């Protein structure tokens, strides 16, 4: 019998910066619904990732939650769940980069199948390198934008 992960226990978010009236669970749930994904499946997937890789952290800044995994020395992969407008999302990314830099990280990347995400990357004012590739998202291989940053 396979052990069910403790989803909420595994998800514990480290809060930083501005507060939010929303819990990280509410933010992830709302974002999942907006992206037409099953929130419970998203929670289980995050819990599984965190169980599999203890280097994965959930960081909440305002009403934005980042899922950050150290994938190599000084390198992180980040994913976002948010209920904030694009200008604020850009500010949250800048805050995340500053936090990661202070913790000794020097490179980060993320990817998105949403073309609007390029505008958010530009709004950060950071030297983000944008390329196109394909990624398995859900059960489909989709074209995505890859966003890389040395900091």
How many alpha carbons fall within 13 Å on the CB side of residue 23? 6
> Which pLDDT score is estimated for 13?
56
pTM of the model: 0.84
**Paired tokens of 91:** 């500010």
Q: Write out the chain's pLDDT in tens, 151 residues.
A: 334 334 434 445 555 555 568 999 999 999 999 988 999 999 999 999 999 998 899 999 999 999 999 999 999 999 999 999 999 999 999 999 999 999 999 999 999 988 889 999 999 999 999 999 999 877 889 999 999 999 9
Selection from 39, 36, 51 nearest residue 4 by Cα: 51
**Paired tokens of 2:** 């396979």
> Which pLDDT score is estimated for 20?
66
The C-alpha torsion from 92 through 15 and 59 to 140, rounded to 10°, is -90
> Which pLDDT score is estimated for 1?
39
- What is the CATH topology of the domain spanning 7-150? Aminopeptidase (3.40.630)
> Which pLDDT score is estimated for 89?
96
> Which pLDDT score is estimated for 19?
58
The residues spanned by each domain of the chain are 7-150
Q: CA-CA distances (angstroms) from residue 122 to 79, 86, 113?
A: 17, 11, 16
DSSP 20: -
């Amino acid at each position: 019998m396979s052990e069910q992960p403790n989803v909420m226990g595994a998800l514990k978010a480290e809060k930083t910066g501005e507060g939010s009236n929303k819990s990280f669970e509410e933010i992830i749930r709302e974002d999942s619904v907006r992206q037409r994904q099953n929130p419970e499946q998203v929670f289980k997937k995050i819990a599984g990732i965190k169980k599999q890789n203890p280097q994965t952290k959930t960081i909440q800044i305002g009403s934005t939650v980042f899922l950050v995994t150290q994938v190599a020395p000084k390198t992180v992969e980040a994913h976002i769940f948010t209920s904030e407008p694009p200008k604020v999302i850009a500010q949250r990314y800048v805050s995340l980069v500053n936090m990661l830099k202070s913790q000794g990280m020097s490179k980060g990347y993320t990817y998105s199948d949403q073309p609007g995400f390029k505008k958010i990357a530009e709004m950060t004012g950071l030297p983000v390198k944008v390329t196109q590739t394909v990624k398995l998202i859900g059960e489909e291989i989709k074209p995505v934008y890859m966003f890389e940053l040395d900091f």
